[in-house]
Chains A and B, each alone.
Chain A
Amino acid sequence: MTANTSAVSVHGLTKRYGDRTVVDGFDLELPQGVVAGFVGPNGAGKTTTMAMLLGLVRPSAGVGDVLGDDITRPAAYLPRVGAMIESPAFYPALSGRENLRMFATIGRHPAERIPALLDTVGLGDRGDDRYRTYSLGMKQRLGIAAALLGDPALLILDEPANGLDPQGVHEMRGLIGSLARRGRTVLVSSHDLSELEQICDWLVLIEAGRSVYQGPAADFIQSSGDGLGAVPEHGHDLDALVAVLVSDGHRVDVVDGRALVRDDDLAGRDLAASVNRAAHRAGIVLVELSPIRTSLEDRYLALVQGADHGGDQ
């Protein structure tokens, strides 16, 4: 798949409930074949946006298409979309397998895929147990299996790792990765930013119903630049260290007793050498000088809080 065509392309998507605007002129261009993390605080409009893409919620305004079909005609594209939104919902008295069979019948999906799908999500040996006996993690897994019934070109998942144990999260990551390798487009929302950072190559950030950032995940994370953390031998030297680093033209923040140093022109060994020389010049001995990598969480928090905190928190 290439990024020349969009799996999802919507403009001005808006949802109002009375006076309250939940999604406010949201634009989304999702290239085909990407794994896109959909990130935003609680109430930012993630689920409502997903529900509009899936035809569950009628937009108050906005135009666009999903997999080439108009967003106002979800029947045209939903057969090629797999989705799990809000929480998995199945019939408690039916087994996992029976639930999938029923969903397959309604969606005209081949029931022959069900055993393989149950194996894929790790429910192969629990498929005949009643859904009501499943743990939250198992329900999530069955929800993923249901979303994959139609071998979809686009997968929309709302908090798919919710309730999964570490092993389950690891498997979910692998599953999403394998889908991406097969050219599927995935839009996945999650509050676990470190998890998203590992699986997503595209980011969509939403806040108060508006798009804050869309683009390659690496570009977003690296946009603040990585830096160095410098710790003086004596705590009382920290202010002097910051002063000398600032006078040398570095950008410096102080977090947890360390100076976080960034420079637009220097990085890596060059930046380390510059910091070391400045400290030596001020008669300060450094006991730690280590690279600080900006995480998605750092960048996200900096963005939504309106101030860039720089490096590690």
Chain B
Amino acid sequence: MIRIVHAELQRLLRKRTIVIAAAASVAFAVVATLAVFAAAKESGPPAARGGATLADLAAAGGGTEAFAVGASFIGFLVFVTFIALIATEFSGGTFRALLLRDPHRLRLIVGKLVGALTVAAGALVVAELLSFALSLAIAPSKGIDTGAWFSIAGLGHAFGNLGTAFAGVVGWAVFGTTLAVIFRSAPIALAVGFAWAGPFENIIVDSWDTGYRVFPGQVLAAIIQGGTPEISLGRAVVTGVVYVGIAAAATTTLLTRRDVTS
């Protein structure tokens, strides 16, 4: 397993990939932080779903609040990225070629998943640090006292936000991998994934609140946000684990039973 993760990191940690990941992290941190601070109101409900008030930003978790709010948009990006990464392995024949070096199919796919998630984790850490630094720079202009950010509670919020964001990313990555394994074609898997996680879920939840608690995409989004008014973090984690377990079981079954013909 370790050598497969190592090989995947060899592939991913190249100058071009690092530059793209770093640029994405910077863009995410800048946009999320500026947007959250710009939209923050003195009091009352947040300006937008998942937004923050000035009081929220002055609290212990204020330093990473912008990261936490912005992270809810990362999931879909991770989803389509993993679909493309894994499906291309099948359609391009590289999965077949790698199986000739290591015929343990499950080990191979898990190793690739772990390798890519390691890179994703690194990008999340960079994004959170950048967002914190930007928040620190912007806070005085909004009259926000940042003293609480450096408390133990603030550190706990930072790790908590990073943890929930990464948990959601893992879920989206597993869902993306499952679709890629099912369809073995990037365009088809992307079309199905895009349609489901994009319009389908979001249109239905507009008229059916229960969808926030049962649809996989909504559940993972709730995990990344640390819970929502519709579903608590604890319930979202339990539901998400069930969904990820089902997806992993489907992936395992297909991988081990199906012939590798392309």
Q: A residues engaging B (CB < 8 A)?
A: 51, 54-58, 74-75, 78, 81, 83, 85-94, 98, 101-103, 105-109, 146, 149
Contacts and interface: CB of A to CB of B under 8 A. Distances in A.
Contact of B93 (A83, A86, A94): A86
30 contacts: A51-B260, A51-B261, A55-B99, A56-B99, A58-B257, A74-B103, A75-B102, A75-B103, A78-B100, A78-B101, A78-B103, A81-B100, A85-B96, A86-B93, A89-B97, A90-B94, A93-B14, A101-B10, A102-B7, A102-B10, A102-B11, A103-B7, A103-B97, A103-B98, A103-B101, A105-B10, A106-B7, A106-B108, A108-B3, A149-B101
B261 A106 contact: no
Contacts of A57: 259-261
Interface in B72-114: 92-94, 96-104, 108
A75 B104 contact: yes
Contact of B97 (A55, A90, A109): A90
B235 interface: no
Interface in B234-262: 257, 259-262
B111 to A, nearest CB: 8
A91 B104 contact: no
Contacts of A92: 92
A261 to B, nearest CB: 48
Interface of B: 3-4, 6-7, 10-11, 14, 16, 92-94, 96-104, 108, 257, 259-262
Contacts of B100: 54, 56, 78, 81, 83, 85
A159 B101 CA distance: 20
Nearest to B6: A105
B180 to A, nearest CB: 16
B176 to A, nearest CB: 19
Nearest to A93: B16
Nearest to B93: A89
Given A106-B3, A106-B101, A107-B101, A94 B11 contact: yes
Contacts of B104: 75
Nearest to A79: B101
A92 B91 CA distance: 13
B11 A106 contact: no
Contacts of B16: 93
A106 B259 contact: no
Contacts of A106: 3-4, 7, 98, 101-102, 108
A146 B103 contact: no
Contact of A56 (B4, B6, B259): B259
Contacts of B262: 86
Nearest to B95: A89
Give 10 closest A-B pairs by Cβ, nearest first: A89-B93, A107-B101, A105-B7, A89-B97, A57-B259, A56-B260, A106-B101, A74-B103, A106-B7, A55-B103
